[in-house]
Amino acid sequence: MSDFTLPMTRQRPFDPPNEVAELRQQASMHRMTYADGHVGWLVTGYAEARAVLAHPGFSNRPEKMHAPIPSRLDLVGERRDRGVPRGFFLRTDAPEHTRYRKQLTGQFTVRRMKALESRITEITNACLDDMAAAGGTVDLVQAFALPIPSLVICELLGVPYEDRAQFQEDSKILVNLETKADDVLAALGRVSAYLHGLIQRKRKEPADDLLSGLIESGELDDEELTGVAFLLLVAGHETTANMLGLGTYALLTNPDQLAAMRDDPSVVDNGVEELLRYLTIIHLGPFRLATEDVEISGNLIKEGEMVGVHLPVVNRDPSRFPGGEHLDVTRPAGGHMTFGHGIHQCLGQQLARGEMRIAYPALLRRFPALRLAVTPEEVPMRSDMTIYGVHRLPVTW
């Protein structure tokens, strides 16, 4: 089926496109035509996805990659050579990747994540207070889903509160697949210049934040520090924000699941994993380029061929998650691949989990009568973005 091209249009808001779900029923790996005519692969099976992402015979560097869908830029990492500072290591390979990853892992300590929990609770409560004060109908994305992760990342890095508005705006520009190249470059320039200045300030006045910790370890120069900080800002904003927005939408349209998340604290941790699995907001990729011939489940991927992993469909593979097309916050959801797998597995996953474990129940308990203020069909979906979610979620209570 080498004439298969990747569909992005969904027939139902929480389900992957029918065409891809149907493919998985036929086989776990498929030939797929990329936007420039390159014939590579699409992986729809759970075991095969893990095998690809754990295999050393693939590169994550964007330079030689073929775009999966027409006339759009892939993840921000594609733009590395066009203005992203060194240190933005999202799409790199060993040994460059190993060096940055080691530095960062050393900073995402249990102690730091634990300390952030009380700040996440405060930030969440402040958003809920503002919502209660505004009353009537509010857009949950602007009032809740976006500000929480945005402020938490600022906390983590030590970015002052008053500077955050520009960051939210710029990161939105950077992850939108439709953004024009000039606008991307302008946003990159603004964020880089700001972070560079912040690093200078932290060199003089270190504090108990991740940037100061990285400076202290002395391994990275200023440009690298800027790139790393920039990556965390972008990666930490929109991902968790879309989980909070889309997750709330999913709960509002599944009232029994919502009630379990609201009323039973013992359900929350697993409920968050299930929402991550069921919604799988990274719905384009990850993609890799074979640097040698690789055999996966009897399929020969030739050197130079692209492989895309369709995470939303992989996370519903019935051999791993029976009945996985339904949201069930009590289903054992561990082992899902929403944070990827292998050496590039999400660095911020514990932070993202911490935010969701605090934010969902806090929202549902503060507003027990929370409901959509529009019909479900009127909720605008982010089908056109690298990260899936809702553009807006009008709610009332």
- Residues of this chain that bind ligand HEM (CB under 6 A): 60, 90, 101, 153, 231-232, 235-236, 239-240, 243, 281-282, 286, 338-340, 344, 346-348, 351-352
Least distance in angstroms from the C-beta of 349 to ligand HEM: 6
| Residue closest to ligand HEM when measured from CB atoms | 348
Q: Distance between CA 287 and CA 267 in Å, rounded? A: 33
Give me the least distance between CB of 273 and ligand HEM, in Å please.
11
Q: Which of 285, 272, 388, 283 is nearest to 334 (CA)?
A: 272
Nearest CB to ligand HEM, comparing residues 184 and 234: 234
- Nearer to ligand HEM among residue 177 and residue 186 (C-beta): 177
Least distance in Å: CB of 343 to ligand HEM?
6
Q: Of the two residues 17 and 227, which places its CB atom closer to ligand HEM in the complex?
A: 227
Task: Please state the closest distance from residue 351 (CB atom) to ligand HEM, in A.
Answer: 5
The Cβ-side half-sphere exposure at 321, using a 13 Å CA radius, reads 26
Q: Are 143 and 393 in contact (CB under 8 A)?
A: no
Q: Closest approach of Cβ 282 to ligand HEM, in Å?
A: 5
Report how far residue 328's alpha carbon sits from residue 271's, in angstroms, rounded to the nearest whole number. 8
Distance of alpha carbon 23 from the chain centroid = 24
Extended beta strands in the chain, E state: 29-33, 39-43, 58-59, 138-139, 287-290, 294-296, 299-301, 306-309, 371-372, 394-396
Residues 309 and 49 sit within 8 Å (Cβ to Cβ): yes
- At closest approach, how far in Å is the CB of 55 from ligand HEM? 12
For residue 59, CA distances in Å to 53, 55, 63, 72, 309 come to 10, 10, 10, 21, 14
Q: Which is nearer to ligand HEM, 122 or 129 (CB)?
A: 122
Q: Considering beta carbons, is residue 236 or 361 the nearer one to ligand HEM?
A: 236
Comparison of 54 and 132: residue with beta carbon closer to ligand HEM: 54
